[in-house]
Structure 1
Amino acid sequence: KRQPGIAVIDFRRPDAPHFGRVVRTLPLAAEDSPPAGQLLEAIRDVTSETAAPLHWYTAYAEATEVARSEGRMLLLYFHDPSRAECYRCFEERTLADASIASRLQDFILARLPVDACIRLGGEQTRLLAHRAFGEMQRQPGIAIVDYAHRDAKFHGQVVSTFPFLKGRTYSLGEMAVILDLPPGTLTQRTIIYAVRTHPERPASASGRLDLHLVGAAENHSRHQADIQLQGHHNWENRFHQLNSTLPSGLMASEVCAESWPGEGLLQAAIECVRCWRLSSGHWSKVQAPQPVYGYDMKRGGNGIWYATGIFGNFGF
């Protein structure tokens, strides 16, 4: 009606009949400012969705077989039935959120108690006691197994472990990051998670994951772990080798960090990012948008994790 006001246009789903159309209007008198409550309600009306019901398997073997046969990621939610109230908010507000639930549709899902067992070698073995799930630290939480990337070295392996450390569950934002991590090994995805969820939201892990840089980050992290010494060892030679693999105009740069001894993978990854934040030189690289990147981390025999990030940028 050619009056001041607010209009909401829906661009969420290209296949929806109302895509690109105005789905809600809130006319205002020229001298009015939007009533906060009315505005919030208008936005909530059009952004809320009823998520399709999620199917959760309750048997690990069955869920694994389905994920393997369909070539999909397997997400395991380990819960503690004796502390159901502690995790009710996570289940009702995070897992049931429309945006999260929609993303979970891409996974095969299994909801398992922390004492769930499988039969190995004729004996019952507690899943969370198996070394494949070692970084869950026998805690409730989220684990992901990759059955989607059949030609990758991590196919069939645990590629995410996010325990509820000290009983703390994951927020909507953190869960969204978990579900959107790029293909990679457990260590690669964990350090990328730590970068993406840092409070200052550094942008280095928002570009394109480069397999050459990932391999270089893996090799250098392993080298630091092997010699139990953090540093840009042999950087001059590696610098020229890396540049030869990068797209024209890009130049390699690197950041390194180490954890405290004895930390689990997730804690160590968060600590390494914290260390980068304390160094202006390192943080300028971690924080900046990078056209291509690779991250990894490895644990040395001294119990210290060594992390490496390698980037291809325009020489800053």
Structure 2
Amino acid sequence: MTRNTHTWALLPLVTLMMASPSLFAAAIGTPTQAERLPEETTLRQIGELDWHTDYVAAYKEANRNKQELLICFEHQSPEQQTRFEQNVLSSAAFKEELGGFVRAILPLNAAVPGENQTLLWHPSFQYMYKQAGIAILDLTDETSPLHGQLVTAHPFRSGHTCSADELQTLLTLPSGTITQRTLIYALKRHPEQPQSVNSTVHPYLLHMSNVNSNTMARLNQVGHHNWSSRFQQINGAVGGLSSEVAVSGNGYTLLDIANDCIRTWRSSAGHWNSMRQRHRYYGYDMVQGSNGTWYATGVFAD
């Protein structure tokens, strides 16, 4: 569904549910408070960069330096992991961008510090689905609600790791929650490259996307609920003409869900015309309803 100040367009709803609602029900918790625990500073060099092999040491450094913590949970296949390290992580093309993160490389069975539990099984990492892959924690601002939160979860697909292009996109996502960043990532990776996500992300539009997605999730209904009021608020905060797209979708992983929402948006010319254009500002988010369905919103300002 898309709406600006003049028009409505109705989309078909995607109703296929491929995962138990309980899988997504728990909120993302704050990762274990590693600051209280002893650390073991051990490093491994990959390419020209050092990677921590101890979660506590990596967490403390990122928190102390106000950086994001990027964790690579190693692929279960040593051959796949070696190729990933040699062909992607060691690439000189990523030296500068990876250098902006505190980096850790951990085995799949890495333990939660101070607990008898595997790190990947901890609720904080639920969107890794206990799989190898790339995870990013935001430790850049202790006053932010994002502090200590998992903001990127990119589990490797079966038999694969992460391509250089995929890693490039992951490393350059704008600040936001894991749902906002996953939806933006999926749009950036879409073969038609919709230009809305190459506009400037605006924190207020991320917030307003979350507001409408939460309302749809609460009502279990796609729509532009209270749009007139929201339009006035956006106009007052950001200025210009604003518009909005809304949809529902489902899937197993967050990325599956994001791609399902995009497929439905793509089937509507009205939606896609708004999404494929470059705007002055944009924001996207998605929220799960009590019925297990996810509801996504994009908001644009010109």
Q: TM-score, normalised by structure 1?
A: 0.78
2:67 is the alignment partner of 1:72 = yes
Deviations 1:111-170 (A, max 9, x none): 0011110234xx311111111110100000000001113332101111100001223322
Counterpart position of 1:258: 248
Partner amino acid for 1:178? L
Gaps of 5+ in 2: 1-45
Letter of the aligned partner of 1:54 in structure 2? L
1:85-113 Cα shifts (integer Å, max 9, x gaps): 12333222111221123210111110001
Task: After superposing the two structures, state which structure 1 stretch, 87-96 or 287-296, moved more.
Answer: 87-96
2:155 corresponds to 1:163? yes
- After superposition, give the CA deviation of every residue in 1:229-253 in whole Å (9 maximum; x if it has no partner): 1122222332222222223xx2110
Secondary structure of the 1:117 match is coil
Q: TM-score, normalised by structure 2?
A: 0.81
**Structure 2 counterparts to residues 1-316 of structure 1, below 5 A:** 53-80=48-75, 82-120=76-114, 123-247=115-239, 250-260=240-250, 263-313=252-302
Query: What secondary structure sits across from 1:183 in the alignment?
Result: coil
SS in 2 for 1:69: helix
1:52 deviates by 6.6
Aligned residues: 257
Task: Tell me how far 1:276 sits from its aligned partner.
Answer: 1.3
In 2, are the aligned partners of 1:159 and 1:186 still within 8 Å (CA)? yes
Aligned-pair distance for 1:272? Answer: 1.2
Identity of aligned residues (%): 39
Letter in 1 for 2:104: A
Deviation at 1:208, TM superposition (A): 1.6
Which residue is equivalent to 1:14? none
Q: Deviations over 1:198-224 (max 9, x none)?
A: 111111011221121111111111111
Instruction: State the alpha-carbon separation in 1 of the partners of residues 52 and 263 from structure 2.
Output: 37
- Tell which structure's C-alpha radius of gyration is larger: 1
Contact 1:263 1:303 in 2 (8 A): no
Q: 2:290, 2:218 → 1: CA distance?
A: 8
> What secondary structure does 2:77 align onto?
helix
CA contact (8 A) 2:48 2:90 kept: no
Provide the rounded CA distance (Å) in 1 between the counterparts of 2:85 and 2:249: 32
Q: What is aligned with 1:31?
A: none
Post-superposition CA distance 1:244-268 (Å, at most 9, x none): 2223xx21100112112x5221211
Instruction: Compute the RMSD of aligned alpha carbons.
Output: 1.6
The answer to whether the Cα contact below 8 Å between 1:253 and 1:312 also exists between their aligned partners in 2 is yes
Q: Which of 235-244 and 135-144 deviates more? A: 235-244
Q: Which is bigger in relative contact order (C-alpha 8 A, separation at least 6)?
A: 2
CA contact (8 A) 1:263 1:304 kept: no
Asked if structure 1 preserves the Cα contact closer than 8 Å seen for 2:62 and 2:102, the reply is yes
Whichever residue aligns with residue 93 of structure 1, its letter is N
Retained in 2: the 8 A contact 1:146–1:157? yes
Secondary structure of the 1:55 match is: strand
**Cα distance per residue 1:24-74 (max 9 Å; x no partner):** xxxxxxxxxxxxxxxxxxxxxxxxxxx971111111111101111111110
Counterpart residue identity of residue 215, structure 2: H
